[in-house]
Amino acid sequence: MTAGQAIKYPRRRLVRGLLRGISSALIHTLSKLELVGREHVPLTGKVILAANHFDFVDPALVLYASPRMVEFIGGANRPNSPGWAQQIPKAWGFIPAYRGGFSRSTFDLSLSVLEQGGVLGVFPEGGSWANLLRPARPGLPFIAEKSGASVVPVSISGAENVLGGPRRTLAIRFHPSVAPPTIDKGSPRRAQLDAYGENIMSMIASGLPDAQRGRFSSDPDARAAALAVSDFPFHGEHLRGG
C-alpha cells in the first residue's frame, strides 16, 4: 500500500449498485446505445480506463459500460455540470483532482486503488469544456508509469445529445489495452510521457467522428479548432478545491 493517502477498493457497493441500475435505465430510455469492446477490460487486476470528455454525463456512461466497478478521478469543482448533476458523483464517491497543478492527494489515492487491483477511471483532457478532442494532461501517463497499470482507451460519442430531443445514437467503444510506459533513461522523461499520452489520445480519436478527433482529424479546420480550445478555460475557484 502506498505510504500516502488511501481508499478501500471497491467501496459503497450498495449505493453504486443502485446508481448503476438507474443509469442503465436512463441510458437505454434516452438513447440508442452502441457498446463495443467490453472484452478489452480485464476482469481482474489493475487497469486504467481513459476516456474522452465532451459532456458532464460521460462519467455515468463509463461507470455503466465498464464490466467492473470504477473509481473515478473527477474535478473537485465542476463548473460545466448542472447543480443537480453534481449530486451524482458525490453519492458515488470519487477521487478529487485540482486543475492547474500537481495534487499529491489525487496521486496517492489513485495509486492506492491500483495497488489493490482496482479499476481507475481518468479523463486525460482534464475537463469537458469542448466537444472535440484535446491533448492529454500529464496525469494519465504519470500514474500509468508509477503504478505499472495498463490503460484501456475509451471513445464516447453522442453523449452531448443524450438529454433532450428524440432518442439518438450513443456509442461507447473500449479499445485494446496499452502497456504502461517504459522510460528510457537516455531520453527526456517528460517527452516520453507526453508521447505515451499522445498515443492514448490517438486511439481514443480513432473511435470518434472525424470532426471531433481534434488534432487527429483529417479536417484542418477541426485541427485548428482543437488547438484553440486546448488550454484550460478555468480560473480562480475552478482550479482549486475548497
- Alpha helix stretches (DSSP H) within the chain: 13-30, 58-65, 87-92, 104-115, 139-147, 189-206, 220-228
Helix (H) / strand (E) element for 50: namely: strand 47-51
pLDDT score of 234: 60
Q: What is the pLDDT of residue 213?
A: 97
Average pLDDT score over residue span 182-201:
93
Mean per-residue pLDDT for 73-101? Answer: 68
Report the distance separating Cα 194 and Cα 214, nearest Å.
16
User: pLDDT-derived band of residue 7, with 50, 70 and 90 as boundaries?
Assistant: confident
The predicted-structure confidence for 65-76, as pLDDT tens digits, reads as follows 999 999 999 876
> Looking at residue 221, what is its pLDDT?
93
Within-domain flag for 121: yes
pLDDT of residue 168: 83
Using CA atoms, how far residue 197 sits from 34, 136, 240, in Å, is: 26, 6, 24
Q: Is residue 5 part of a domain?
A: no
Q: Is residue 155 part of a domain?
A: yes
- Asked whether residue 181 is domain-assigned, the answer is yes
Give tens-digit pLDDT for 11-57.
888 988 888 888 888 888 888 999 999 999 999 999 999 999 998 88
Concatenated DSSP letters for 170-196? EEEEEPPPBPPP---TTS-HHHHHHHH
Q: Which domain holds residue 156?
A: 13-230
Residues 213-236: tens digit of each pLDDT: 999 999 999 999 999 988 877 654
242 located within any domain: no
Which domain CATH number covers 198? 3.40.1130.10
Above 70 in pLDDT, residue 86? Answer: no
Contact 169, 28 (CB under 8 A): no
pLDDT (mean) for 128-139: 91
Q: Which three cell numbers stand for residue 78?
A: 465542476
The pLDDT assigned to 85 comes to 54
213 within domain boundaries: yes
φ/ψ (deg, to 5) at 101: -175, 175
The domain total for the chain is 1
Identity of the residue numbered 78: R
Interatomic CA distance for residues 215 and 234, integer angstroms: 22
Distances (CA, A) of 128 to 60, 111, 149, 198: 14, 24, 25, 18
Looking at residue 216, the DSSP 8-state letter turns out to be G
Say which residue, 242 or 230, is predicted with more confidence: 230
Q: Which residue has the higher pLDDT, 141 or 83?
A: 141
Confidence of residue 158 (pLDDT cuts 50, 70, 90): very high
pLDDT at 58 over 60: yes
Residue, of 175 and 226, whose pLDDT is higher: 175
Q: Strand 70-75 and strand 95-97: pairing?
A: parallel
pLDDT at 160 (0 to 100) = 81
User: What gap in Å lies between CA 227 and CA 220, rounded to an integer?
Assistant: 11
